[in-house]
Amino acid sequence: MRTRLSIAILLLLPLIARANPVQIDGQSLMAFAIVAFWALVIESGLATLTLVSCGVLVVPAFITLVLANVVIFLFAFLPLTSRVSLWFLEPGVVLADALLVKLVASMPFLQGGGFIGVSWRRALVASLLANAASFFVGVLASGAPSVVHETGAME
């Protein structure tokens, strides 16, 4: 019972943190770290779960995808956020993730006994689902869904 309660509390942690994943300042660094960690876990977890039916080993694939996503975030996403519109950057990240999913799945130490291979279509779907979930974690944590828009009506 204590384990389940601990897991539930940890899973709700991103909902109480507030951070903007694109603009990091000194005051939001801890909140950013919490949000980025959970976005990374969810993104890598969904990509791994998408590949399970292909015969990949779950834990090694998850760890490898976490490392691959950290590399993409640090060396592709963050440096390009000030130079490229997010409308172009996000699809590029999805394609880069799909390429990494395909490369990760081709590594022999990640393949189980019943490995059948990962198609480009499955890699793209895994990347798209994982990045969409990661994006929504960032949106929820930045407080964007709770923005109140003024209607312009008189009170």
Q: Does 5 map to a domain?
A: no
Summarised one tens digit per residue, pLDDT across range 3-52 is 776 666 665 655 555 444 545 555 567 777 777 888 888 899 999 988 88
pLDDT of 55 over the 70 cut: yes
Residue 78 lies in a domain: yes
Answer whether residue 1 is part of any domain. no
Q: Is residue 89 part of a domain?
A: yes
Classify residue 22 by its DSSP letter. Answer: S
Q: Return the CA Rg of the chain.
A: 18
Inside any domain, residue 155: no
Tell whether the model's pLDDT for residue 79 goes beyond 90: no
Q: Distance between CA atoms of 134 and 47, rounded to whole angstroms?
A: 11
Specify whether the CB–CB gap between 22 and 1 falls below 8 A. Answer: no
| Cα–Cα distances in angstroms (integers) from residue 19 to residues 28, 41, 70, in the given order | 6, 17, 18
Instruction: For residue 31, give its domain range.
Output: 26-139
Instruction: Tell me the pLDDT of the chain averaged across its residues.
Output: 78
pLDDT digits (tens, 9 = 90+) for 97-134: 999 999 988 888 888 888 888 899 999 999 998 988 88
pTM greater than the 0.85 cutoff: no
pLDDT grade for 84, boundaries at 50, 70 and 90: confident
In a domain, 13, yes or no: no
Q: Are 131 and 93 in contact (CB under 8 A)?
A: yes
Give yes or no for a contact between 46 and 85, defined as CB atoms under 8 angstroms apart.
Answer: no
Q: How far apart are the first and last CA of the chain?
A: 49
> Which pLDDT band holds residue 64 (cuts at 50, 70, 90)?
very high
Whether 44 is in a domain gets the answer: yes
Quote the CA–CA distance of 73 and 149 in Å, as a whole number: 31
Domain count, the chain: 1
CB contact at 8 A, 19 and 31: yes
Q: Is residue 73 part of a domain?
A: yes
Residue 149 has pLDDT above 50, yes or no: no
**123 vs 140 pLDDT, higher one:** 123
DSSP for 71-93? HHIIIIIHHHTTTS-HHHHHHHH
Q: Please report the pLDDT score of residue 28 as a whole number.
A: 65
